[in-house]
Each structure stands twice: as structure tokens, then as C-alpha cells.
Amino acid sequence: MIAEIGLGLLWFAAALSVMQLGLGIMILRDRESASASAFAATLRPIAVIQGVMVALSFLCLIQIFWVTDLSVKLVATNSHSLKPWLYKLAGAWGNHEGSMLLWVTVMAVSGALVAMLERRISQAMMIATLAAQAFVSIGFYAFLLLSSNPFERLVPTPPEGAGLNPLLQDPGLAFHPPTLYFGYVGLSIAFSFAVGALVTREVGPTFARAMRPWVLGAWIFLTLGITAGSYWAYYELGWGGWWFWDPVENASLMPWLAATALLHSVTVLANRGALKAWTVMLAVVAFSMSMVGTFLVRSGVLTSVHAFAVDPERGSFILVLLAIYIGGALALFGLRASTVQEGAKFQFLSREAALVANNLLLMGILAIVLMGTLYPLVTEASGTKVSIGPPYFNPASAIFFIPMVLIMAVGPMLRWRKSDKAQLTAAAAAPLLAGAVALLLVVIFGSGAGILPTLGLALAATLAVASVMPLFRSKTNRASLPIWGMVVAHLGVAVTMAGMASESAFTKETLVASAPGESHQVADWTITLLAVEPVAGRNWTALEARLSAQRGEGEAIELAPQARMFSSPPTNTSEAALLTRWDGQLYAVLGERAPDGRWQLRLWWKPFVPLIWYGGIMIGFGGLLALIGRLFQLRRTRPIRKVEQASEPTGQTVPA
Amino acid sequence: MSEAQTQEPAAKSRGWLIWLPLGLFVLLIVIAAFSLANPSDRVIPSKLVGQSLPEFDLPPAIEGSAGLKQADFADGKPKLLNVFASWCLPCIVEAPQLDQLAKSGVTIHGIAIRDRPDDVQAFLARNGNPYTRIGADDISAVQLSLGSSGVPETFVIDGEGKIVHQHIGEIRPEAVPLILEKLEEAGR
């Protein structure tokens, strides 16, 4: 019964979104008529009810998974009565249908929030934005209801479910997809705002301010999602790496790159009234990348370790959605961008120019990643299978990344609109000195570090020093929360870079076949295999190695890496044992048993590798500080906003 | 130099540049549509295709039947090796096809993965028993050594015990002709 209620609610919400679009178009076509103004008041409530309906529908799905109702096909194919409760819940979205329902839910709830909270933009733009949001939603409702119904029943009811992909049975990963979805879907709101602004010709600072918190929020979720995903891949896949340029990883990195660019250009538009067309285009591109990523992961056109196995029919569906929405938005952009007035002017040496340069470099990296991800598709058309990995991505993205970091270091120290060389010199001196010292230290002490890692460490030092400088720039007034946010986020980038460079430069690896009692050396650690014993969990069995790790003359610490076997579906996973110290991580994996009875052990000492994820968390936290600052600022300045806006060089077009 | 006015990138030459994103996007759609229309071979084939079966000797999966070992495949006649389990839903889907193959004279050996004798018995009673021999692989050891990653999977083995073909997933009716063809090739 719950399944039918859920499906009914979903249909209801879909109908509401059709209504939302239809009414929106009607009102916008004839804004002056009496009926238009009467209907205009109903659009916000419709959006809110739509959000509530979908949320309830999603709750129905969670309930079905909670009780493991095997008469629902989705539960039977993805869950199992013996699964721990957390993964029963995660099972609700750990599959294609459920995750699409989550997607639509987040999208509709965000639309409802916009309808309830947003008070800055004009009524016309609000209507256009809600209509655009409904337009996008309709496609996803159609996708769910016509080709991916999560509430479909299964006759006859099987005695037991098939389980959840054991690789996904990890607390980190249970929350990884929703995190990314909040990011993707947050960008759909930015997209709708952009379409709304183009339709009503109101591309200006007000639009940017309305859009900014959504971009920031989406960006925070994407940042944390990618960071968590990377750490998960690192400790769960057991190969010791933290980034593989896998299509699925790239699918989340591409919208992040676009959102990062958007985040910076939207600030320029909000504060300075410049970069109008560029900001609108980035908003379209950012959401496009979310959808392209979704398409790549779901259509089955690319092979990946963790892509959903989905048939081409669904791929075609998403491709059509992609063509309609993104193609439509880009066509609208082409038609309207020429009518968007040019924004405020700025000079070559200015903070705006630095941000533009960084935006372009970010787009450069995005292009590199997109090309690398799609290239196998192109070559496959001509019959050759290729796989593109780090040898392409690392140097190609570094070409853009290195100048970007340098500009990132000095940019925040430049003045808006117009800066001079003296200022640039003052801003660059200390960071460059720090970079030079770091470079020297690595060359002297870090023997054997490659060119890129060496450069990476020097750049990280440069950026780290430069990041905190804005705090000391103005002694008269204290740094605002958004400035703190920027400082923390930029420092986070430096920290992540230092971790990446250190890991790739100084990692020590040992691969041994070991009998119990034998000791092995990796870096300054002595690892002794004590025993290998079977252990059992609730829905898995495993072989567990007990290792003793001793650093120099220090105390021996026990480690227990496992090779786990899940019964349904039968899958083997590797639970690496990690030992974190202030200066790095010891990483141990239990491999296979050799015919002579010895066990394969892979041991790594990875200096400062946790910095990669600490940095990621810092970047997200910086975004959070900025978001709080923006929301707080908004409240504080609301009464004087009119004055502030009037004094700005907005160049805003008057709504037709 | 500082006198040079820098405009926002999209505004610099408001002409064809504005349509560039749409052009690139259309290109992307074309590539994607083309790849969809020509789906690639996405299964991960076993590295053992073309090689001999690994050494194994499994106990019987149900009481009173024969177990399965590698030597059972070396009698000069091509055979099928089917990896299945009673808890596997797609295995029910392929059961009629296996039955049909068995009735047309194909020898099928099975390996039951992580299963209990009673469950296997019940499964065979419900869905038919096309197997000549069924080995029990309680820890998936043989399955993994075969390069098989899931259930069901079916291998075509030639008369010398060499793997000549791997079918991943359930055997649907449309896959039967190919399997028969591979069996015939293996017999030549």
C-alpha cells in the first residue's frame, strides 16, 4: 500500500510541476492582464506543495526499504533482510531508481525553498525562475514515472533480496551520493535563476545575490562529496591511491570546477556589476556538467568500477533531457546574451581581471577533464579501445593548475577595478619568498621527488602564505566572515596540494609474500605478520591479518587489514588497515594467499597524505563560513540595500 | 598597458563567440548519441578465456550427487560450466534455457556458489536440474580463480579443458544460438 501511495504522490507532484510551468508561461506572456496577477500569487504555493509531495513520496520509499518490503522490485533487487539498518536506508538511494527519486526530491524541495525564502528578485523573475525549475523537474518526473519507477511491484515476491553492492556498504558511501546530489541539484537552482534572469532580462547584481547562496551551498556539498569520495576510494578499494580520473570521479569533478568558477564570477557580479554574460553562461555550464556527469554514469556509455549498470534506453532518455534543457538554455543564452548590457569596466591589473583569468584557467581544466573523459568514446567509434589515465590528466591539468595557483595567490591582494604594480609587488613578495624557500628545501632534502611534486610543494607554500595575507591587509576594520571563508578555503587548497605532492613524492611501498612471524620494512616501520584468521560479521565473512607495526624503537601497534567476502551478491572487498600519525599514514592491505601458504601483503608509508582530505574539509568549511557570512550580511544590510544598489554601477537593464 | 580596458570574456566579441557553447554542446550530444547507438562491450571478460581451467576439486553440492573437478572436463567433449546459486534471481531466468540445452544433449556442469545443500536441492526441484555434476564452492574460491565476478556466469569449455567462451549474466533465449555455436566450434 505504501508503494502505491508513494507512486500517487509522485504523480501528483509531477502534475503540479506541469501546472507550475504552464501558469508561469501564461503569466509571463501577458503580464499586465488581471488574470496574470491573480495567478502570480498561486505560483509560490504550488512550488511549495510540489516540494512537500515529493518529499513524502521519498519518505514512502525509505519506509519500504526500512521494513524490507520484498514485494517491491527495487527492494528485492537492492536490499536484503539481513543488512544492517544503515545500509537498508542507504539502499533507498544506492541504486538508479532511488537516486533519481532523491534527485527529484532535492530539486523540488529546493524549488520550494526558493519560493518561500527569496524576496530580493522581482516578481517577474521569480515567476520565470519557478517556471524554469518546473520545466527541468518535469523531465526528471517523466524519466522516473515512465522508465524508472521505484515503486514497481514484483510478482511473485521473492523469499529474499539480492543485497546491496558490498562496495557501497560503508558509512562514508551511504552518505556520499546524497551529498553530491545536494550539490548537483543546488546547481539546478542556479540554472533556473540564470534562465529566469535571461527571460526577464534582469541579469544584474540582484540576480547574482539571489543566486549566490545556492551556488555556495551546492559548491560546499560538491567539495565535501568529492573529498569523502576520494577518501572512500582510498581506503575501500585497497589500491592505495586517492584519485584515479575514473569517469565517475570526473563526473563529480567537472561540475565542481564549473561551480568554482561560477562562485567567483557571481561574486564579481554581485559586488561590482561586471561579468554579466559570463556569469550566466557559467551557471548554465555548471548545471550542464551535473547532467553530463549523470548521463555518463547512468547511460552505460563509459565503463567504470562504480557506474550504475543501466541500459541504453535510460541513457537515451537522459540524453534527450540534456539536449532539451542545456541546448535550450544555451540557445536562450545566445539569443539574449547580446542584449545583456556590458557590465562595469575594469583594468588589466585588478581583482576582477585576476578572477577572470582564474575562471578561464578553471574552464581550461574542465575542458581537459571533459576531453579526457569523452576521448575513449570517440576512439571507440573508430574501433580502438583506449583508457586514459593519470599520464594524460596529471600533466595536462597541471598546465592550467600551476598558473591558476599563482594568480590565486596574488588575486585577493589586488584592488577592485584598478590596481598598480607596486601593489602587485607588495602582494607577491612574501608568498614568492616562501615558495622559493620550500623549493630549496625539497631540492636539498627531498631526494628523488619528481618535477611536478617538487613544484607542487613550492606552490603550496606560496599559496599558504598568500592565503592568509588578506587578514592582515586592512588593519582598520576586521576581516568579514566571507573574507575568512576565502582565507580558509584558499589555505585548504594549499593544504590539499601539499598532501598530494608529498604523497606522490615520498611514498614508500613494499609488496611481500609473508609467512606468519616474518617481519618487513617500509620506510622506518617494521611490520610483522602475526597471524591470519577468519572472522565473521553480520553479512560478511573475512580473513583478517593481525599485523604488528613498530616505528624505530617505539611501541608496537596492532593493525588488522581484512579481505572481506559478502554473500549476496558475492563480492570480495578489501578493508585496508590505516594507522594515522602526525606525519603520514601507514596503509596495509591483505592480499591473496600464495600456493606455498604465504600471504601477500601490500604496505605503504604515505607521508602527509591525510592533508589531502583535511584540505578538502577546509575548502568546504571556508565555503560554509562565506555562506553564513552572506546570509548574516543579508539580514544586517537589508534596510539599506536599496541605497547601496542605487549607488552601484549596475548597468542593469530595465525589465521589459 | 594598464590603460587597456579588459572586458568580460563573453562580451569581448559579441558575435559567434556567444554561440560557441551551444556549438560545443551539440558536438557533445552527437558524440554521446553515437556512443549510445553503438554500445560498447562493457563486460569484463575473464582473463582465462583461451586458457586451461585452473586446478580445482569441489565436493558435491547436493547429497548423493557427484562433485566437480577440473579433470571432469578433459574427456574430449566440449561442455558448459555454469556458475549459479539458489539465492540468485537471474539464475531462475536462465533455468529454462539451461534445461533446453541439456535436453538437446549438451553436458552442463554446475558450481553452486556459497550455498546450502538443502537450498540447492529446493532450487533444482523448482527450476529443473540440467546439471550432470554440481560442485559446491562455499567460499567462491573456484569462482574467483575462474575470473568470474558474479552469478550466473557460463563458460564454454572445449574437450581439453580449455575455456573458449564466457557468458556473463543469465542466458536469455536469444543467447542460446551463440552458445551452441561456440560449443560446436569447441568440438571441432
Question: Cβ(A247)–Cβ(A297) under 8 Å?
Answer: yes
Shortest CA distance from A316: residue in chain B: B36
Phi first, then psi: give them for residue B170, nearest 5 degrees. Answer: -70, 150
Helices (H), A273-381: 276-299, 312-322, 328-337, 351-381
- Give the cell for residue A355: 578572477
Calculate how close chain B gets to A330, using CA atoms only, in Å: 5
The percentage of residues in chain B with a pLDDT greater than 90, rounded to a whole number, is: 13
| Subunit contact B18:A295, Cβ cutoff 8 A | no
Question: Cβ separation of B140 and A353 shorter than 8 Å?
Answer: no
3-class secondary-structure state, position A653: coil
Instruction: List beta partners, residue A534.
Output: A543
pLDDT score of B160 more than 80:
yes
The whole-angstrom separation of Cα A484 and Cα A614 is: 17
Suggest the residue from B35, B40, B91, B115 to mutate for an interface test with chain A (most A CBs closer than 10 A).
B35
Q: B35 and A380 in contact by Cβ < 8 A?
A: yes
pLDDT tens-digit map of B25-69: 888 888 888 777 765 554 556 667 788 888 888 999 888 778 898
Chain A residues close to B4, C-beta within 8 Å = 347-348
Whether domain B57-186 has CATH 3.40.30.10: yes
Is A589 strand, coil or helix?
Answer: strand
Taking CB atoms and an 8 Å limit, are B33 and A380 in contact across chains?
no
State the pLDDT at residue A305.
45
- Give, in order, the Cα–Cα distances in Å from B175 to each of A537, B89, B153, B162, B178: 38, 18, 13, 21, 6
- Assess A29–B contact: CB distance below 8 Å, yes or no: no
Select the residue of A299, A352, A571 nearest B36 (Cβ to Cβ). A299
Question: Are residues A278 and B14, on separate chains, in Cβ contact within 8 Å?
Answer: no
Contacting B residues, span 104-133, partner chain A, CB-CB under 8 Å: 113-114
How close B131 gets to chain A, by Cα (Å)? 22
Domains of chain B, by residue range, sit at: 3-37, 57-186
Contact map slice: A 556-575 vs B, CB within 8 A? 565, 567-572
Of all residues in chain B, the one with the smallest CA distance to A157 is B89
B144 chain-A contacts, CB cut-off 8 A: 572
How many Å lie between the alpha carbon of A303 and the closest alpha carbon of chain B? Answer: 6
SS (HEC) of chain B: CCCCEECCHHHHCCCHHHHHHHHHHHHHHHHHHHHHHCCCCCCCCCCCCCCECCCCEECECCCCCCCEEHHHHCCCCCEEEEEECCCCHHHHHHHHHHHHHHHCCCCEEEEEECCCHHHHHHHHHHHCCCEEEEEEECCCHHHHHCCCCCCCEEEEECCCCEEEEEEECCCCHHHHHHHHHHHHHHHC
Q: What is the pLDDT of residue B76?
A: 85
A595 interface with B at CB cutoff 8 Å: no
What would the grid cell of residue A267 be?
561574486
CA-nearest residue to A360 within chain B is: B9
Residue A26's CB: how many other CB atoms inside 10 A?
A: 16
Residues within 8 A of A (CB atoms), B 55-74 only: none
Residues within 8 A of B (CB atoms), A 327-356 only: 327, 330-331, 333-334, 337-338, 342-343, 345-350, 352-353, 356
Provide, as residue numbers in chain A, all residues whose Cβ is less than 8 Å from the Cβ of B10.
277-278, 281, 337
Q: Which residue of B has its CA nearest to A327?
A: B22
Per-residue pLDDT of A391-432, as tens digits, reads 888 889 989 999 999 999 888 888 888 777 887 887 788 899
- For chain A, residues with pLDDT lower than 50 are 304-309, 476, 638-656
B126 chain-A contacts, CB cut-off 8 A: none
pLDDT tens per residue, range B62-113: 887 788 988 888 888 899 999 998 877 778 888 889 999 998 889 999 999 8
Distances (CA, A) of B148 to A343, A591, B180: 61, 18, 21
